[in-house]
Structure 1
Amino acid sequence: MPMLELQGLTRRFGAVTAVDAVTLSVPAGQMVGVIGRSGAGKSTMLRMINRLTDPSAGRILFHGRDVGALQGAALRRWRTDCAMIFQQFNLVPRLDVLTNVLVGRLNHVAPWRSLAGLWPEADRAIALSALEQFDIGRLAAQRADSLSGGQQQRVAIARALVQEPSIILADEPVASLDPRNARLVMDALADINRRYGITILVNIHSLDLARAYCERLVGLAQGRLVFDGPPEALTDEAARQLYGLEAAEAVGRDAPRVPVHA
């Protein structure tokens, strides 16, 4: 049984169909790049999987369980198991880095402890270890808003990791970063995937980065699934058809090619 299944997943906003009957199966441990031009439905699809947006039609199954039927505490547990990373980091600017990462432990500790700031030492150690894994442990005491964009995104990834998720959804995590920081963030996601076997779906506009880091590419155009295969199966011509007028921006040769199964 696939870990994650989308069955005819659809989302309409009025007369506009943002995601159009997408059917997709993702096995455990895969790193999948979701590609396509702006407005293709990539973000809406990930938000539906996390249940930040409800589907208009279709089903989302996780190990056979209907995610669309979850409510209350069960939905909160799902969002812990299915961590989300956003383009704009979604950190609390005035809090220090360590506390921002500890937010990922909220469903693992008693509410009174987090409200009082009395995090168990074990959880603090988990959070610090996650920061050190991404070479930012030295920033633990700094305010989040004092960090660069690339550092903030690695903090967000550390926060997702300490949730102990089965799957991570990364929605355009490098869109606002320069090439060097984009590679550092993709390195961090690839490391999580290899080291812990966590399934990752990453929306990414840069086809170079998608080809370099992801073992499988899923292409959306006007909300429909139009490509599903390994990076080498996506020719430049097919990529240009997928990206349309944005092809020159998305298709290049600047990203380093890294081993996805290292």
Structure 2
Amino acid sequence: MSASSATLEIRGVTRRFGKNTAVSDINVSIPRGQMVGIIGRSGAGKSTLLRMINRLIDPSQGSIFFDGAEVSSLHGSPLRRWQRDCAMIFQQFNLVPRLDVLTNVLLGRLNHRSTVSNLLGMFTHTECAEAVAALERLDIARTALQPAGTLSGGQQQRVAIARAMMQQPKVLLADEPIASLDPLNAKVVMDSLRDINLREGITVVTNLHTLDTARAYCNRIIGMAAGKVVFDGAPEDLDRDAVRTVYGADASGADISEAITSTSVTIKPKIIASAGPLEPAFPGY
């Protein structure tokens, strides 16, 4: 399989925590370049699934493959290489608050460097230039020398995206990247993720709690309920019946209102296009 057609495959994956099954027999194949939104109630298994893909936790059974290689069986340096190639963005940003923004972004290069260079904390001029370019792309270069902890939530999430892009990933996972953001910052972050998906052709898989966001930005939506995939299709197929299948009904038996999942900010119409490299992400790449 060529790099241009590399596929992320999840085969019969289950994850148990004691007697509780968080994810049950998931079978999903995601071709390179898709932007996939995973939706579902809290506790549906969305975060657990992403953490298994990144190997932050291991499946109880089943396998995960990328480009034909079984990443769910990796250990040691091969596992570190996979976690470099499969970057993860978290809801709570996972930045080092006391370090400046530029250094936080440069930390994305650690798995590309020697142990000695990392211990010495030495970054090259080229790496620093790439980090600044990443911040410029996300319109936050002016914050480069500020402690990360002084930034707003939306700014911190953009720093986290810049750090992830410094890994030069093949897959970008985002675990509820806009859940703690106001609607305007949520839009900025989603615009950034879609731009990365379209410009570099990087596969993006993101957990989302807003249906309008999933429909507007993703060209494929996966719905989860009670640890299982109960919907897998195009945004236009996510109709009332499909939403009810994913979210069920409220205490009165009525359908869940989509109003409670709305970002309430107008989102630019989604660009439907086959993802592929349009231009380099950063100068010199």
What range describes the TM-score normalised by the shorter chain of this pair? over 0.9
**Cα shift readout 1:159-204 (whole Å, capped 9, x = no counterpart):** 0001000000100000000000000010110010011110000000
2:245 matched to which residue of 1?
241
Matched, 1:107 2:118: no
User: Is contact 2:183–2:264 with CA below 8 Å preserved after alignment?
Assistant: no
1:78 matched to which residue of 2?
82
1:261 matched to which residue of 2?
272
Q: Quote how far apart the aligned CAs of 1:234 are.
A: 0.6
Rounded Cα–Cα distance in structure 2 between residues aligned with 1:157 and 1:52:
18
Q: Quote how far apart the aligned CAs of 1:16 are.
A: 1.1
| TM alignment of 1:165-180, pairs within 5 A | 165-180=169-184
1:250 alignment partner, one of 246, 258, 261:
261
**Cα shift readout 1:124-166 (whole Å, capped 9, x = no counterpart):** 1111110000000111000000000000000000000010000
User: Is contact 2:183–2:263 with CA below 8 Å preserved after alignment?
Assistant: no
Rounded Cα–Cα distance in structure 2 between residues aligned with 1:67 and 1:150:
32
User: Is contact 1:214–1:260 with CA below 8 Å preserved after alignment?
Assistant: no
1:139 alignment partner, one of 139, 143, 162:
143
| TM alignment of 1:91-170, pairs within 5 A | 91-170=95-174
2:13 matched to which residue of 1?
9
Rounded Cα–Cα distance in structure 1 between residues aligned with 2:158 and 2:217:
16
2:205 matched to which residue of 1?
201
Q: Quote how far apart the aligned CAs of 1:245 are.
A: 4.7
| TM superposition score normalised by structure 1 | 0.96
Rounded Cα–Cα distance in structure 2 between residues aligned with 1:112 and 1:139:
29
Three-state SS of the structure 1 residue aligned to 2:204 is: strand
Structure 2 CA distance for partners of 1:215 and 1:139, relative to 1, 3 Å: same
CA-based RMSD: 1.5
Structure 2 CA distance for partners of 1:147 and 1:245, relative to 1, 3 Å: farther
Structure 2 unpaired stretches of 5+: 251-255, 274-285
Rounded Cα–Cα distance in structure 1 between residues aligned with 2:157 and 2:24:
30
Aligned partner letter, 1:99: T
| TM alignment of 1:23-42, pairs within 5 A | 23-42=27-46
Q: Quote how far apart the aligned CAs of 1:253 are.
A: 6.7
| TM superposition score normalised by structure 2 | 0.88
Rounded Cα–Cα distance in structure 2 between residues aligned with 1:117 and 1:252:
40
User: Is contact 1:211–1:257 with CA below 8 Å preserved after alignment?
Assistant: no
1:212 alignment partner, one of 200, 212, 216:
216
Q: Quote how far apart the aligned CAs of 1:47 are.
A: 0.3
Aligned partner letter, 2:271: V
Q: Quote how far apart the aligned CAs of 1:90 are.
A: 0.1
Q: Choose 91-100 or 108-117, whichever is displaced more.
A: 108-117
Q: Quote how far apart the aligned CAs of 1:252 are.
A: 7.6
Rounded Cα–Cα distance in structure 1 between residues aligned with 2:235 and 2:22:
25
Aligned partner letter, 1:59: S
Structure 2 CA distance for partners of 1:256 and 1:236, relative to 1, 3 Å: farther
Structure 1 unpaired stretches of 5+: none
Three-state SS of the structure 2 residue aligned to 1:59 is: strand
1:66 matched to which residue of 2?
70
